[in-house]
Chain A
Amino acid sequence: MEKRNLTCIVCPMGCALTVELEEGKVLSVSGNTCPRGEKYAQEECTHPTRVLTSTIRVADGVLPVVPVKTAAPIPKELLFEAMAALRELTVPAPVAIGDVICPDLCGTGIALLATSSVEKKEPDA
């Protein structure tokens, strides 16, 4: 049996949780003050996910990069793979907030969205 210590982040209480696991299955959760802590521990130990936020390069923009986010949380273990994919991307300016940069990031079925706008640079006269 494996034991894991987590801090619940669902509310500012930050309860220290202890999870007992066997072959990837959660056997018990303790230390939580409310049921939300148990649910959090379940998810964290079986399929943790995170929203990834980063930047990608913009060609001919007034700024060199535009911030992006995944439209929904992606599996945590894919974060670095997704970052590598982002490094390969360049979008042409203009970019508008909410633009879909990539419809399916790393086979997750989740889109990558622009979270800000970058205008096109005026060509030098």
Chain B
Amino acid sequence: MKKLDLVIIGGGPAGMAAAVAAYEKGVRNLLILDREPQLGGILEQCIHNGFGLHRFKEELTGPEYAARFAEKVAEYGIPCLLNTMVLDLETESDGTKIVTAVSPQEGYLKLNARAVILAMGCRERPRGALNIAGTRPAGIYTAGAAQKFVNIKGQMPGKRVVILGSGDIGLIMARRMTLEGAKVEAVCELMPYSGGLTRNIVQCLADFGIPLKLSHTVVQIHGKERVEAVTIAAVGPDRRPIPGTEEKIPCDTLLLSVGLIPENELSRQAGVEMDPVTGGAVVDENRQTSIPGVFACGNVLHVHDLVDYVSEEAEIAGKQAAAYLDGCRMDAEMFPVSGKDGVRYVVPQRIRKGAAPFALYFRVGDVYRDVRIVVECGGKTLVSRIKKKVAPGEMETLPLKAEQVSQIDGLVTVRLEQKGAE
């Protein structure tokens, strides 16, 4: 069995940045595995611009952002095994990790690794997760699948489109299909606010006069072989359709952009402790999971909206995996972190005693204006910050300085002191 120091599962922006950071800390016997024929992950199909504003102070397209990291991977000569699907991850009693994968060139392969970084990204919630009446005609796709058709295969999935869900991928696809000559009839959003970035609502919908129907859902899909129309309806505060508000819209395509879920089958099989709110692993500030030597970063850990933070987080995981390989054991006492009063989740979920300075990443559950974000530990306020606006679609970060981290001696809570919810 091939013996490696570090195996990175997933070659998207998270996997590449983690590999580069580990390499820069001296790790040489490492390998990136990805099931796709190229590195880059989801960015390869995100051909729109808007990536990298924080990191490179430039607006790059997805493939350009990915290329910056792929060039580093190539420059360092970090080995990659592509077209390789990882099937299983196990930990032996002595702590060694066994990674099982298949690929057309290598067949079935087993690798022996001292440390593993999970960077498998996330996938879209499929239609099965939704409850829409009607048969299952052709013409229903996730927005991400449609994005792959159009941007990589050069094929249009349809001409008259309704989009359910106002996540960023749905918004981006509304513009993309309009530019390619399709008519996007409407974007329906169940919630009273959009989960997408404001910039996308303006530049993908408003620019083209595409209506955004908030508090609306699709209640029926019509058509036998192919979608012929959908019926939409307004929903009440209980998110249930309001009788009498139905409207039938003729269309040949329904795109679903109803949320992303971290892709964690492997992590679960491996026995990694999971956070039910993020759908990702429970990690400490080093991005180490409950299994020593197994780290996680990027969308597999929690869904990020900006790739810049994916890279930042992946660098933490890569650096710390290198420290672990150097013999640094991260088994100090841990203090839990939790969100309350409007804070839906916080990453990391644990902080080690004596931790180095780090940043808290978190998301809120509703749109709030003029709030104070408060980080507390045992009755002491470690940091507080006033924000004019926080929204579920935008991840917040809050860095903690050394003197603040040194005060942590128990449960850390992150909460909002609100002056008013919308």
Report the count of interface residues on A (CB-CB < 8 A). 27
Asked if B179 CB lies within 8 Å of chain A CBs, one says yes
Neighbouring B residues of A6 by C-beta, 8 Å: 202
Is A97 within 8 A of B64, CB to CB?
yes
Additional A-B contacts beyond A33-B388, A97-B64 (4; CB < 8 A): A9-B198, A50-B207, A53-B49, A116-B44
What 0/1 pattern do residues 9 to 52 of A give for CB contact below 8 A with B? 10011100000000000000000010000000000000000111
From residue A69, how far is it (CB to closest CB) to chain B in Å?
Answer: 6
Q: What 5 A-B pairs have minimum CB-CB distances, sorted nearest first?
A: A116-B63, A67-B47, A65-B154, A14-B198, A9-B199
CA distance A53 to B129 in the complex (A): 32
Neighbouring B residues of A91 by C-beta, 8 Å: none
Main secondary structure of the interface of B (DSSP, over half): helix
Is B388 within 8 A of A51, CB to CB?
no
What 0/1 pattern do residues 164 to 177 of B give for CB contact below 8 A with A? 00000000000010
Neighbouring B residues of A65 by C-beta, 8 Å: 151-154
Is B61 within 8 A of A67, CB to CB?
yes
Q: How large is the interface on B (under 10, 10 to 19, 20 to 34, 35 or more residues)?
A: 20 to 34
Residue of B61, B64, B207, B391 touching A12 (CB-CB under 8 A): B391
A window 90-125: CB within 8 A of B: 97, 115-117
Neighbouring B residues of A51 by C-beta, 8 Å: 49, 59
Neighbouring A residues of B153 by C-beta, 8 Å: 63-65
Contact sample, A vs B, 21 pairs, CB 8 Å cutoff: A6-B202, A13-B389, A14-B389, A52-B179, A53-B61, A54-B176, A55-B150, A63-B153, A65-B151, A65-B152, A67-B47, A67-B63, A67-B151, A69-B47, A69-B49, A76-B207, A79-B179, A83-B181, A97-B64, A116-B44, A117-B67
Neighbouring A residues of B201 by C-beta, 8 Å: 7
From residue A45, how far is it (CB to closest CB) to chain B in Å?
Answer: 14
Neighbouring A residues of B123 by C-beta, 8 Å: none
A55 touching B64 in the complex, CB below 8 Å, given contacts A7-B198, A12-B389, A13-B389 = no
What 0/1 pattern do residues 55 to 76 of A give for CB contact below 8 A with B? 1010000011101010000001
Neighbouring B residues of A64 by C-beta, 8 Å: 153-154
From residue B51, how far is it (CB to closest CB) to chain A in Å?
Answer: 11
Neighbouring A residues of B150 by C-beta, 8 Å: 55
